[in-house]
Amino acid sequence: MYVAVKGGEEAIENSQRLLEQKRRGDTAVDELSIEQIKEQMSLAVDRVMTEGSLYNRDLAALAIKQAQGDLVEAIFLLRAYRTTLPRLGVSEPINTNSMCIQRRISSTFKDIPGGQVLGATYDYTHRLLDFSLMAEGDEPVSTDELKQMESAADTPRMPRVVDLLNAEGLIETESDGAGTGNIPDLTREPLTLPADRQLRLQALARADEGFLLALGYSTQRGYGNNHPFAGEIRHGTLNIEITPPELGFPIVIGEIEITECEMINQFTGSKKKPPQFTRGYGIAFGHSERKAMSMALIDRALRCAEFGETVVSPAQDQEFVLSHTDNVEASGFVQHLKLPHYVDFQSELELVRRLRKERGDNKQSGIDEKCA
Amino acid sequence: MNSAEQMKTMDIERRRRWIGLLAKATLQELEQGWSQIESKPEYTFIRVPETGQIMIRARTGGVGPQFNLGEMTMSRCAVRLANGYIGFGYTAKHQKRHAELAAVFDAMMQDPVYRSMIETTVIEPVADREQHKRSVSATKIASTNVDFFTLVRGDD
């Protein structure tokens, strides 16, 4: 238990001043600009927006700068800021089919309508440190080096890969879900269990990437395995539309980058359902494939009840998963241990001393000996 | 659909387009357009510029029931020009001034006196830049189109 303490104002003020100096580092080195972070650390910005659950590149970059690059701290800053913003409405549901594709791959079918597009990826890099990046003032990579295609003004239409399986009825279909009914919102009501899939997906979308990655990995290693294939991973941009009541028709307010992953999972069938492939869904702001893939694995694992699978592993246990996915909560609770627990600890100390005395242990505790 | 309805649909489509482009413009583009207007219209706020956020909705599996994906910043504003035209400004940017200028331009685009001027100084330059950005990106992306070959194992 934490008991409030008083005092220490001056030391705290000094500590914060010191923090500002630490953040700035050596003043002989140029200060980082928000634009530099946005342009050159874009994947960090993406992660902060996804887990901070607020799409705004400027604010995420500012949070990264302020947190000295500590992404979980930056996520906390962004979450805190979003609570100060009034909710002005909801978007029309995004249509990821209309995505302006920057990357799109499938590991289930070689030839897919629209083709496999690698885009910019680290997948085929050798993971060797590139010391040329250390050299300052080198020429930027010329865009002319990229082979200029004739009239590639528009990306080809890229239908969903899972729809190819739909044609044969070999994969479960997503029902459109009648209307907007009651869409649960974690930011408005606390999490209640059992949570339906819509609520789970909201929680997973803002969940800690590391936690999801580890859990997703655990399913692959046998803790709730569901034989996944990356049916499709796509990354690109799409418009966000709202329908303001004063206008009565949908309008575009901006564009976001998004990553989507559809996992295809083997399912041998149950009493109620025939053998077929099942789906797991992952989605993240920006370019975050690791996050989207991990989320898709966990989405499928948490659907175990739908398919009559027994809960045997952590990744299938929604109380375990959903209660521990949020890194703002987790980090807060772990780190609160740093706050003074003097009174609490004193009482524990008294208790241990008394118990030892009752046991007839005459020797004083080590702490007292050392202190003496 | 009768012709009056068709007109209305066409008008809405045109307005949707310019509102979208005003949202995607940079603040610099809007300010530049504003500075080029010699006789600037007087306007009053119906809704003062404000920043907030909207919830982005996605669908399970991309096509299924909706769920709340996460939020996005939004700024908005509403103005009335001295001549009575009402304009609404929206942008995903966290910028009150952007919403204000977008609202003023939306009102001016409805006014035949200003329309063609705003179209050439603000709307079309933004449309061109967006189109250019898209085609440059599409060209680069297309160069990464890949054909994987499957190697048959144990083939003699």
Nearest CA among A183, A177, A180 for reference residue B65: A177
Contact B92 A254 (CB under 8 A): yes
**Neighboring chain A residues of B76 at a CB cutoff of 8 Å:** 88, 244
**Neighboring chain A residues of B135 at a CB cutoff of 8 Å:** 152-154
Which pLDDT score, from 0 to 100, does residue A67 have?
97
Residue with tokens 């008294």: A350
For residues A48-72, give the mean pLDDT.
98
How is residue A33 written in tokens?
Answer: 């600009």
Percent of chain A residues topping a pLDDT of 90: 66
| Degrees, nearest 5: CA angle A361-A365-A366 | 135
Percent of chain A residues topping a pLDDT of 70: 89
For residues A34-52, give the mean pLDDT.
97
pLDDT tens track for A6-38: 778 899 999 999 999 999 999 999 999 999 999
How is residue A31 written in tokens?
Answer: 């200060």
Spatial neighbors of A4 by CB under 8 A, at least 6 apart, are: none
Segments in A25-170 forming alpha helices (H): 34-40, 42-52, 57-66, 71-82, 162-166
Could you tell me if B154 lies within 8 Å of chain A, comparing CB atoms? Answer: no
Give the strands of the sheet with A100-105, arranged side by side.
Answer: A276-285, A251-267, A228-242, A100-105, A116-117, B145-146
Which pLDDT score, from 0 to 100, does residue A151 have?
44
Nearest CA among A319, A258, A311, A261 for reference residue A286: A258
User: Hey, where are the domains in chain A?
Assistant: 10-82, 96-119+158-172+190-325
Which pLDDT score, from 0 to 100, does residue A262 have?
95
pLDDT tens track for A171-199: 888 776 555 578 999 999 999 999 999 99
Instruction: Determine what percent of chain A falls in helix, strand and coil, rounding each to the nearest 5.
Output: 40, 15, 45
How is residue A193 written in tokens?
Answer: 């269990």
**Neighboring chain B residues of A198 at a CB cutoff of 8 Å:** 60, 65-68
For residues A52-57, give the mean pLDDT.
98
Nearest CA among B113, B90, B124 for reference residue B38: B113
Q: Which of A41-61 are b and which e, b meaning 16 or more Cβ less than 10 Å from the residue's Cβ?
A: bbebbbbbbbbbbbbbbbbbb
Report whether pLDDT(A170) > 60: yes
8 A C-beta contact, residue A55 and residue A256: yes
What pLDDT tens digit does each residue of chain B (156 aa) get?
A: 566 777 788 889 999 999 999 999 999 999 999 999 998 999 999 999 999 999 999 999 998 999 999 999 999 999 999 999 999 999 999 999 999 999 999 999 999 999 999 999 999 999 999 999 888 888 888 888 887 777 776 554
Q: Which one-letter DSSP state was computed for residue B25? A: S
Nearest CA among A330, A259, A257 for reference residue A296: A259
How is residue A327 written in tokens?
Answer: 């890194």
Report whether pLDDT(A312) > 60: yes
Which pLDDT score, from 0 to 100, does residue A147 have?
46
The rounded distance, in Å, linking the Cα atoms of A325 and A302 is 13
Mutate to test the interface with A, among B21, B47, B74 (most CBs of A within 10 A): B74
Could you tell me if B88 lies within 8 Å of chain A, comparing CB atoms? Answer: yes
The rounded distance, in Å, linking the Cα atoms of A55 and A61 is 11
Which pLDDT score, from 0 to 100, does residue B8 have?
81
Cβ pairs bridging A and B (under 8 Å): 236
Report whether pLDDT(A270) > 90: no
pLDDT tens track for A223-268: 987 889 999 999 999 999 999 999 999 999 999 999 999 999 988 7
In degrees and rounded to multiples of 5, residue A179 shows phi and psi of 55, -165
Could you tell me if B134 lies within 8 Å of chain A, comparing CB atoms? Answer: yes
Could you tell me if A331 lies within 8 Å of chain B, comparing CB atoms? Answer: no
Please, which residues bridge with residue B75 across strands? B51, B91
Which pLDDT score, from 0 to 100, does residue A268 have?
77
Nearest CA among B105, B72, B19 for reference residue A246: B19
Determine the residue type at A72.
V
**Neighboring chain A residues of B69 at a CB cutoff of 8 Å:** 94, 201-202, 205, 283
The rounded distance, in Å, linking the Cα atoms of A187 and A157 is 35
Q: How many residues does chain A have?
A: 372
Report whether pLDDT(A276) > 90: no
Could you tell me if B45 lies within 8 Å of chain A, comparing CB atoms? Answer: no
The rounded distance, in Å, linking the Cα atoms of A280 and A274 is 18
> Which of B6 and A41 is assigned the larger pLDDT?
A41
Which pLDDT score, from 0 to 100, does residue A175 have?
74
Spatial neighbors of A68 by CB under 8 A, at least 6 apart, are: A22, A23
